[in-house]
Amino acid sequence: MSKEHVIENLQGLNAPASASAVAASVVAPDVLRTPEAQAATNAIIAEAVKSVFAQLGPLLESMSLTPAKIAEAEKMRRAKPPEEIARELRERQMMQLDLQEAEARKKENQSACSHRYPTGQSAFHVIHNFPDRQPRFSCPLCGIWVAPRQWMIGPPTQEEPRGHAFIAEAHPLYQEAFKAMASKGV
């Protein structure tokens, strides 16, 4: 496009829009060119436009993305398929069973252990430095943990968010382990 053409086009922006361009397609007959006829025509057009939008209303509403619809779609997008949920449940169950088996095996080993070395010496090791100044004992052969009568804090509950505190009785082997420590003189 040449420079002259551009200037000519830009000048067109300042000129008022020609009335002929708007009204060229629709020419009102002379009969309608009275104030009453114009008013009636305006009213009819307004009513027609209003009724069109009234009919479109529900359609527009159903098309619009309301927060409720977005939330519903998001929920559906995040929902896991049922087979995945079933698999997760199954795996969790298997893991729990494995843990229970391992725990039972450990208990069995501990109850079968004499907590003594082949020489006959007690295998209990003593652990000091507890706030209540009472020693704890552990057997390196089976990993048993022997604690005295002590305060314990249970899991938190609705009433006790810091956990329920209670006194747990001493381990049945505590006295025996204590005596073994005294005889060793450690």
- In angstroms, give the least distance from the CB of 115 to Zn ion: 4
Nearest to 48 by CA among 60, 37, 56: 56
As a whole number of angstroms, the distance between CA 14 and CA 168 comes to 94
Sites for Zn ion among residues 80-109 (CB under 5 A): none
- In angstroms, give the least distance from the CB of 156 to Zn ion: 33
As a whole number of angstroms, the distance between CA 139 and CA 185 comes to 17
Residue from 115, 135, 148, 178 binding Zn ion (CB under 5 A): 115
Please identify, among the stretches 20-28, 31-39, 112-120, 147-155, the one whose residues bind Zn ion according to the rule CB under 5 A.
112-120
Q: Residue 142 belongs to what H/E stretch? A: none
Long-range contacts of 17-21 (CB under 8 A, 24+ apart): none
Q: Tell me whether residue 11 or residue 111 sits nearer to Zn ion (CB atom).
A: 111
As a whole number of angstroms, the distance between CA 178 and CA 159 comes to 38
Query: Do β-strands 145-146 and 165-168 pair in parallel, antiparallel, or remain unpaired?
Result: unpaired
Q: Tell me whether residue 170 or residue 176 sits nearer to Zn ion (CB atom).
A: 176
- In angstroms, give the least distance from the CB of 159 to Zn ion: 39
Q: Tell me whether residue 148 or residue 177 sits nearer to Zn ion (CB atom).
A: 177
Sites for Zn ion among residues 121-150 (CB under 5 A): 139, 141-142
Q: Tell me whether residue 115 or residue 136 sits nearer to Zn ion (CB atom).
A: 115
Question: CB-based contacts of 145: which residues, under 8 Å, 6+ apart?
Answer: 136, 137, 138, 171
Q: Tell me whether residue 113 or residue 170 sits nearer to Zn ion (CB atom).
A: 113
List residues near Zn ion by CB under 5 A: 113, 115, 139, 141-142
